[in-house]
Structure 1
Amino acid sequence: MDVGPCSAEIQQRRVELVENYSEHLTRLLDVLFNVGAVTEEDLSLVRGSAVLGERECMRALLDVLHGRGEESCRAFLYILPSVQDETTKLGQANRQEHLRKHKDILARQHGLVDYLSIREQTLGQDQTGCWTDITFSRQAGYASSSQCRHESAGVGDAFRTHADEICIFKDVYENLLCSPASGVNMLSGVAGSGKTTVVRRLVREWAAETKSSKIILSLSFRELNLITQEQSLQDLLSDHYIHLKPFLHELLNSNPTQFLLILDGLDEFCYPLNFEHTPKCSDPERVQPIQSIVVNLIKGNLLPGVSIFLTSRPHAVSKVPPVLVSLFYSLLGFSVAQQKQYFEQNCSSPEAAEAVWASVSSHKPLLLMCHIPAFCWIVSTALHDGGSCLCPDSVSHAPHVLSEMQPILKSLGAMAFKGLLERRFIFESTDLNSFNLDSTKLLQVFLSEILKEDRASLTFEKGFHFIHTSVQEFLAALYYVLQSLSGSDPFAVQICSSYQSFLSSQHSGKYCNCRYNCSEADMKHLMLNIIIFL
């Protein structure tokens, strides 16, 4: 049989056609059948190769066309460009639909009640006026500090002495999502200063923005703590964002600069980060430990050009070498004017806000603590109706209530204490059972306000976490005090089997030999919390 030019071209381009056009196979078969270039028997033959994959089906189609002759080959080459364009447009439309879904999902995940605004937010509403703005400082990189003091010791000083550039949320948003610059941006702030709230606001305003060219991927370190098996970055993100799975490989390999990756809560990460000796990896499909994925992301080996927004408490900032941080933000908290604005927005009435502000502003220690947004939330929640800071009735009943609650607080504190030593911030039902935290009705009511139930998106398992990490730290310190007053050594219980060896080692950077690791800095921070409580 003579081979015509079209048939010859198909044979010459066979490898290219299989490589680049297999994804268009379904549409190609439909059009070829409609124009009479192939028969029903041909379709059955080609589709019969589906068990071996799309590429094998494409090879079978090319063989069929070669056997059909020049006319069928000419028809194939004629329709090929139009079918490719049509399929590509459909694919792009489908991808845009999935990205819209991605925005909706992230907005819901980040739509909880926050410390900067105690009102529930609904996507699509005008949120600009619902947030009390917060003050940041900004500098290029950061200087590591060897000081060992409690992170809240300087609360309020920043507004009087800080010499770095001052900025607001809008500046942070524009730098992360509207600027082509890449690299690591770090946000540092004390407990309750609003780091996670900034992340939530960032995600929600991005989800409401229709013109944003960047795609946000958000992960928390407390969720990453749950990963015990080695896996690839692509599998990690596919598990977390199932709706992006059909396009994730293409997105990750096409243009990483279109992503903003948020990693929230570095201080809660239970695994050590070794930036000097972690093997270099640039392949998103390579399986490796979760801490190696984090190191390679921050160093720019994985997804080069991606923007990373990393949040941490001050004591854990030094886990990342300063040379890797492009911009360093510090949360300075609320100024006095912002505190007043917060109470005006979140109290039940202007009169109540005025009464609350009168109480707060007349007590200097309270005014100082209200630089921290979470503390403003506590005050406005407790006094939203304008009640006095000092309630004689409540004070007189306090010993009786404390007596009833002490066993509960002790059990809850024991779990919180054990969790901190093991770097655990998400607990299972078995943990509650082991500490007898599922018995009384009073306990259940109390727990509903202290422990929040969630289903971890990376493991799909039911878990519990304290409403805020500082609450866990407070209860752990309370447990330490109660144990010490009763003559017991809180560390004597084998909560962390290698803790004694840790105390005797005195080597900086050593980690406990257990699943959840406590660095020396973490242990110093825990002990400082206990000392502050005492």
Structure 2
Amino acid sequence: MADESCSTEIQQRRVELVGNYSKHLTHLLDLLFNVGAVTEEDLSLVRGSAVRGERECMRVLLDVLNGRGEEACRAFLYVLPSVQDKTAKLGQANRQEHLKKHKDILARQHGLVDYLSIRRHCLGHDETGCWTDITFSRQAGYASPSQCRHESAGVGDEICIFKDVYENLLCSPASGVNMLSGDAGSGKTTFVRRLVREWAAETNSSKTVLSLSFRELNLITQEQSLQDLLSDHYIHLKPFLPELLNSNPAQFLLILDGLDEFCYPLNFEHTPKCSDPERVQPIQSIVVNLIKGNLLPGVSIFLTSRPHAVTKVPPVLVSQFYSLLGFSVAQQKQYFEQNCSSPEAAEAVLASVSSHKPLLLMCHIPAFCWIVSTALHDGGSCLFPDTAGANSGEKGSLGAMAFKGLLERRFIFESSDLNSFNLDSANLSQVFLSEILKEDRASLTFEKGFHFIHTSMQEFLAALYYVLQSLSGSDPFSGLKPSTGCSIQNALKQMASAVNKFNTPQRLFRRRIKKALRCGERHQSGHMDLFARYLL
């Protein structure tokens, strides 16, 4: 019976042995050959599998030992502790070193942005203190889409702040799916940035953060495994990732930001079950199996989404549901005081906002506070800078491209898109566009891609373009051509003069606005909801 336990133990521990000891295969083979457990022919057979990877070599070794019988299996288990001790000592040191590197890299990738974070006033100060706080509501799971509204908390919802959410996600041993819902510009991605940066600054973290955006996942067109996906995204963790994933998935917090932007359908009923992180499958299948807990069971997952898309995930799978409630009036005041260049400028901006009810209502959306404060406190030079060589209609064309993108539900643009609207990326401020690289795996090349720094900016420019075109008597839907629209730098002046000049076509203008609102309703995807609010 004792003899049978050695081979049985190896078979039972096969996944662990392959995951934890493949990288020490050379040392293992030397020890086993020295004690006579394997022959030179066995060594050649195992090493000949190297073309399929070191993990495959380890699998072949385990098969060889099983074929050699109980004596060989007993010898393997005998030498294993010496490798295990070496693995533990090296692994602990390397793990700490690579975790620090991982934190530094994620902190840089999730750097401070211009809204919700106050960059210009934080020089020489702790960056974690540079955020205007925001209020959340929290409940166990969600019951219906009607509860996914950030304007007010529902009956029985618990009100909480950033610290509460942070502690629940990173300090609690509980696993499962947590979801954050909020309208465009309400602060979902900024919350993720703050979460990652404060985790990176923490010295004693009980969990390791992995962060992905659905916008990035949209770029994956070929099937691949979860392990390859994470290894490609976090190349610095590649040597240790298999061991980390196989050891204890509960030590990870996986952030998936922007579910509403995911272009692939999620089928939770008919997607094949997969628990192997090495199995190649479509990207949407990876997402489904992660959320259902088949892949990396025990991992904590944090999803963010606009309200219309939260129902893509079955309620039974969501353990904790948060809603962003936006800025209160006091938080708006705090934000303007921090973001404007002086107390006098902040007071002037707040007075302008308070005197205009639609502006005041919109300013509960943090991104809109950023647009308003940046545009008003210095006359718009921050938001719409003059750039050398920019043609007079360039920024208007940017609005046309933004509107066209909304109609087509596109958030990433190519160089050809910019060219078709006579736009030069070199002349566009980073306030508008961010540049990314898109990999073409078939040709092993990279192409430039562009996206607006935030979808709220895309919707704002699209709405501004739509209004200016309508006031000038043009049809925005048929005017999506190069060099359309007016210079955005003088947008407010032109809108005021247009209203006075075009008293006669006011009816036509109202019809155009209604047409835009109907268009947003027909899309029913929620990606034009802020566009509609800007119009109104």
Say whether the 8 Å CA contact 2:430–2:453 is kept in structure 1.
Answer: no
Shift of 1:413: 3.3
Determine which of 432, 436, 452 is the counterpart of 1:450. Answer: 432
For structure 1, the residue ranges without an aligned partner over 5 or more in a row are 1-8, 63-74, 399-403, 495-517
Say whether the 8 Å CA contact 1:177–1:214 is kept in structure 2.
Answer: yes
In the other structure, the counterpart of 1:92 is 92
Determine which of 384, 405, 412 is the counterpart of 1:419. Answer: 405
Paired residues, what number?
470
In the other structure, the counterpart of 1:101 is 101
Shift of 1:32: 11
* Alpha-carbon distance change, 346 to 162 in structure 1, aligned in 2, over 3 angstroms: farther
- Match of 2:112, SS state, is coil
2:417 counterpart letter in structure 1: D
* Alpha-carbon distance change, 274 to 284 in structure 1, aligned in 2, over 3 angstroms: same
Matches within 5 A, 1:116-155: 116-119=116-119, 126-145=126-145
**Within the alignment, does 1:190 sit opposite 2:180 as a pair?**
no
What is the rounded CA distance, in whole Å, between the counterparts of 2:339 and 2:418 in structure 1? 34
* Alpha-carbon distance change, 24 to 488 in structure 1, aligned in 2, over 3 angstroms: closer
Shift of 1:432: 1.6
1:413 counterpart letter in structure 2: G
Cα deviations by residue, 1:454-475 (Å, 9 ceiling, x for unpaired): 3369986532111210221233
* TM-score normalised to structure 2 length: 0.72
- Match of 1:449, SS state, is coil
* TM-score normalised to structure 1 length: 0.72
Determine which of 261, 278, 284 is the counterpart of 1:285. Answer: 278
In the other structure, the counterpart of 2:328 is 335
Cα deviations by residue, 1:166-203 (Å, 9 ceiling, x for unpaired): 10000000110111111211111122111111000000
Shift of 1:164: 1.9
In the other structure, the counterpart of 1:512 is none
- Match of 1:285, SS state, is coil
Cα deviations by residue, 1:35-93 (Å, 9 ceiling, x for unpaired): x999xxx99x979974544659979x99xxxxxxxxxxxx9999764454123311232
1:262 counterpart letter in structure 2: I
**Within the alignment, does 1:472 sit opposite 2:458 as a pair?**
yes
Matches within 5 A, 1:210-359: 210-359=203-352
What is the rounded CA distance, in whole Å, between the counterparts of 1:233 and 1:76 in structure 2? 31
- Percent identity for Structure 1 against Structure 2: 75
Cα deviations by residue, 1:80-120 (Å, 9 ceiling, x for unpaired): 64454123311232122222211111111001324211217
**Within the alignment, does 1:181 sit opposite 2:164 as a pair?**
no
Say whether the 8 Å CA contact 1:223–1:458 is kept in structure 2.
Answer: no
- Match of 2:256, SS state, is strand
**Within the alignment, does 1:490 sit opposite 2:477 as a pair?**
yes
* Alpha-carbon distance change, 120 to 327 in structure 1, aligned in 2, over 3 angstroms: farther
- Match of 1:118, SS state, is coil
2:218 counterpart letter in structure 1: N
Say whether the 8 Å CA contact 2:327–2:366 is kept in structure 1.
Answer: yes
- Match of 1:328, SS state, is strand
What is the rounded CA distance, in whole Å, between the counterparts of 2:77 and 2:226 in structure 1? 39
Cα deviations by residue, 1:412-463 (Å, 9 ceiling, x for unpaired): 234323333443212222222233212xxxx854454311223369986532
367-376 or 197-206: bigger deviation: 367-376
What is the rounded CA distance, in whole Å, between the counterparts of 1:22 and 1:141 in structure 2? 41
What is the rounded CA distance, in whole Å, between the counterparts of 1:268 and 1:454 in structure 2? 16
Between structure 1 and structure 2, the one with the greater Rg is 1
Say whether the 8 Å CA contact 2:437–2:447 is kept in structure 1.
Answer: yes
168-177 or 312-321: bigger deviation: 312-321
- Match of 1:102, SS state, is helix
What is the rounded CA distance, in whole Å, between the counterparts of 2:431 and 2:422 in structure 1? 17
- Match of 1:315, SS state, is helix
Say whether the 8 Å CA contact 1:223–1:456 is kept in structure 2.
Answer: no
What is the rounded CA distance, in whole Å, between the counterparts of 2:345 and 2:127 in structure 1? 23
